[in-house]
Amino acid sequence: MRNMSKRQIISAIALIAASLVGIARAQAADCQNKNALGTSRVLVVDPAKTPRVGTKSFPQTLPLEDHEVVLTFDDGPWPATDQKVLAALSAECVRATFFLIGRSASEHPELVRKMASLGHTIAHHTWVHPNLKYLSPEKAEADIDRGIAAVETALHGAANTTPSTPFFRFPYFDSTPQLLERLEKRGIAVFGADFWASDWNKMTPEQELKLLTERLEIARKGIILLHDPKAQTAAMLPAFLRYLREHNFRVVHIVPVGAKTASDRTR
């Protein structure tokens, strides 16, 4: 925009804003449940400007307003629970981001494509979920790339280590400065979280709902970490989405720069 006039810059910004509003309206129009929670808006994440987010790991997070949340799920795809998770999200017309394990994606490519066809963002979470901090940099990046290639193969039928959605989350949130720098140079945004349901611990769906909502009331906004292979999370999710709706929380859908919407993909 360096050579653009002030009026041209304002027009360009207005056009971008209008397009994002149009996406949100299209999503609302597609929703058959008029009383659903819905997806309130789309937030475009540019890794060049936002290389790392999530206050559990980094100083900064996404620019969310009060009562706005981003739903993220780790460790899928997992057919036994993902069908329930996807059904709950669809019932409330909500879109989320799934950080997928490459080996599972290679075993269940049809489920990866279903997630994408429903408009969810498909992101990356290594090949076999190792703690990358304890691997050599070469082995760590090889596992990252193998995971990316597996997800890209499931989505597009061709292995590619340049992700179509350049979003990545470290297993256990354990990173190293060298890997963070390497991913930033590759244009891949690293996602932490702002709070989580601690669903790696054994608990009932009711206990998880209580824990998560109590943390949400304190945080008031942020990136939420859940795990879609967890049966207790799949069972808890419909009640949690109702809680968000009844307490005036809004769900924000994150997409990378240049992403197509679900309606675009079906044309």
CATH number at residue 250: 3.20.20.370
pLDDT of residue 33: 85
Q: Does residue 135 fall inside a structural domain? A: yes
What residues contact residue 163 under an 8 Å CB cut-off, 6+ apart?
A: 123, 124, 148, 151, 152, 188
The reply to whether 169 and 80 lie within a common domain is yes
- Name the domain count of the chain: 2
| 103 and 183 share one domain | yes
Query: Are 130 and 181 in a shared domain?
Result: yes
Specify whether 210 is located in the same domain as 228.
Answer: yes
Q: Give me 20's structure tokens.
A: 């994002």
Q: Which residues are catalytic?
A: 74, 227
**Residues 69 and 18 placed together within one structural domain of the fold:** no
For the chain, 267 residues long, the average pLDDT of each consecutive 10-residue run is 43 38 44 91 97 98 98 98 98 98 98 98 98 98 98 97 98 98 98 98 98 98 98 98 98 90 40
Predicted TM-score (pTM) above 0.85: yes
263 belongs to a structural domain: no
The pLDDT score that the predictor gives to residue 260 is: 60
In order of 69, 81, 178, 182, 260, the CA distances from 31 in angstroms are 19, 23, 43, 40, 18
24: containing domain: 1-30
Note the pLDDT of residue 192. 98
Same domain, 173 and 191: yes
